[in-house]
């Protein structure tokens, strides 16, 4: 009798182990330590309807907890956390299915993976879609207009030239207009003076009243403010707070500033002119970043869904070619956990003259003809 019971227990144990093995084999997706999504053993990357949905939901719930820790997420209630998990699962399904298409770029569980597309747009888009009507200092220029005799480098990366500061994070302040303006000024100041100085977006947010601080703004108006107000303070003197604040005039008067002499807009809808400009200096561009692919971008040359409803300011800091695909090096202001350590390789030389995401529609750059920095040297 005892031996019969033992045999029965052994049989049940074998059945449980086999069942678990089948469940493991049914795994739809797996993850590395950085939450990069990959296919489960012996499976394609799909997460559509079917018998694997239950397993997928369990796996998504398991990966959600360490993802929360990695990105420092804090939710106000259990209900809010459940809502975020639901959105997270939906985004994970989208990522898994999109990556299964073997595109030239990959999506991943970045900091925006718990946001719906609508929420992402509300948080991240701060560039006014239209330039100001009256451009006091802006002038249209043929400075970087292309001609038959142009010889441009095959690639350029201003990061390698020491003309780009570390990737910054605008947080929940819709201040991309300030970050894109400041990034181009920092780069040009390095090229002209030889010194890379980290400048203050908060100076623009608090003091540039023609723009709306964390409510959004225009890069052209930001350039005009820098010219009108004798330069821009450093981040050390005027650190970023990610909220609107009062302009501190005394702080601005008593500290070092970096000046520019003006700014110009590139000819619209001309990627070759943009290429020529970027070969000489980092350039501000206003793009459309409203697609879900853009939200969840992780790596590779992005040529995904993108419109031309300009809503987000970035800095173009270079260009190159990867596996036969031309790209722009786009510096974002969403921290170093988005994209390729804060950057995107965006497809270049596409059929549409506006460029992917409208990158060639509204690009501009600062002018600096001499060592026009306040308080003598910036050393």
Q: Which of 189, 208, 265, 332 is catalytic?
A: 332
Which whole number is the average pLDDT over 209-228? Answer: 94
pLDDT confidence band for 1 (50 / 70 / 90): low
Helix (H) or strand (E) holding 300: strand 297-302
pLDDT confidence band for 84 (50 / 70 / 90): very high
The residue among 118 and 130 whose pLDDT is bigger is: 118
Q: Which of 176, 207, 214, 357 is catalytic?
A: 176
pLDDT above 90: percentage of residues in the chain? 70
Neighbours of 1 (CB within 10 A): 5
> Would you give the distance in Å from CA 362 to the centre of its chain?
18
pLDDT confidence band for 372 (50 / 70 / 90): low
Q: What share of the chain is helix, strand, coil (3-state, %, to 5)?
A: 35, 20, 45
Q: Lowest-pLDDT range, 33-47, 111-125, 250-264, 317-331?
A: 33-47
DSSP 211-253: S-GGG-B-HHHHHHHHHHTT-EEBTTTS---SS-----HHHHH
332 belongs to the catalytic site: yes
Calculate the alpha carbon distances from 162 to 185, 188, 198, 354, 372 in Å: 14, 11, 12, 29, 20
Please tell me the predicted confidence (pLDDT) of residue 116.
96
Nearest CA among 347, 260, 366 for reference residue 306: 347
Domains and CATH numbers, the chain: 123-367 (3.90.70.10)
Please tell me the predicted confidence (pLDDT) of residue 248.
83
| pLDDT value at 111 more than 50 | yes
Cα of first residue to Cα of last residue in the chain, in angstroms, is 89
Question: Does residue 260 contact residue 184 with C-beta atoms inside 8 Å?
Answer: no
The one-character DSSP state at 356 is G
Q: Which of 35, 311, 312, 373 is catalytic?
A: 312
**Residue showing tokens 């943009």:** 274
pTM: 0.84
Please tell me the predicted confidence (pLDDT) of residue 139.
54
Q: How far apart are CA 267 and CA 361, in angstroms?
A: 8
| pLDDT value at 369 more than 90 | no
176 belongs to the catalytic site: yes
312 belongs to the catalytic site: yes
Please tell me the predicted confidence (pLDDT) of residue 2.
53
pLDDT confidence band for 20 (50 / 70 / 90): very low
């Amino acid at each position: 009798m005892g031996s019969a019971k033992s045999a029965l227990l052994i049989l049940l144990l074998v059945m449980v182990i086999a069942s678990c093995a089948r469940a493991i084999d049914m795994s739809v997706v797996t993850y590395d330590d950085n939450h990069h999504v990959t296919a489960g053993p012996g499976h394609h990357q799909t997460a559509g309807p079917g018998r694997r949905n239950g397993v997928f939901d369990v796996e998504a719930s398991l990966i959600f907890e360490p993802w929360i820790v990695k990105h420092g997420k804090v939710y106000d209630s259990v209900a809010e956390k459940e809502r975020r998990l639901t959105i997270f699962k939906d985004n994970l399904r989208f990522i898994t299915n999109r990556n299964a298409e073997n595109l030239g770029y990959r999506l991943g569980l970045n900091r925006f993976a718990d946001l719906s597309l609508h929420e992402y747009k509300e948080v991240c888009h701060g560039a006014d879609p239209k330039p100001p009507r009256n451009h006091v200092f802006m002038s249209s220029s043929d400075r970087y207009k292309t001609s038959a005799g142009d010889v441009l480098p095959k690639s350029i990366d201003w990061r390698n030239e020491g003309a780009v500061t570390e990737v910054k994070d605008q947080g929940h302040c819709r201040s991309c207009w300030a970050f894109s303006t400041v990034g181009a000024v920092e780069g040009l100041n390095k090229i002209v003076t030889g010194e890379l100085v980290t400048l203050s977006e908060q100076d623009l947010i608090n003091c540039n009243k023609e723009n709306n601080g964390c409510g959004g703004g225009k890069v052209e108006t930001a350039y005009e403010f820098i010219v009108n107000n004798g330069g821009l303070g450093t981040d050390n003197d005027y650190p970023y707070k990610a909220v609107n604040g009062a302009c501190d005039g005394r702080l601005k008067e008593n500290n070092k500033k970096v000046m520019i002499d003006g700014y110009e807009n590139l000819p619209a809808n001309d990627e070759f002119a943009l290429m020529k400009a970027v070969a000489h200096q980092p350039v501000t561009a206003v793009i459309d970043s409203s697609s879900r692919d853009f939200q969840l971008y992780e790596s590779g040359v992005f040529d995904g869904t993108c419109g031309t409803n300009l809503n987000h300011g970035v800095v173009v800091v270079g260009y190159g070619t990867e596996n036969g695909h031309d790209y722009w090096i786009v510096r974002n202001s969403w921290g170093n956990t988005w994209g390729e350590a804060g950057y995107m390789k965006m497809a270049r030389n596409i059929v549409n003259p506006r460029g992917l995401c409208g990158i060639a529609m509204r690009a501009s750059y600062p002018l600096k003809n001499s060592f026009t920095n306040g308080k003598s040297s910036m050393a």
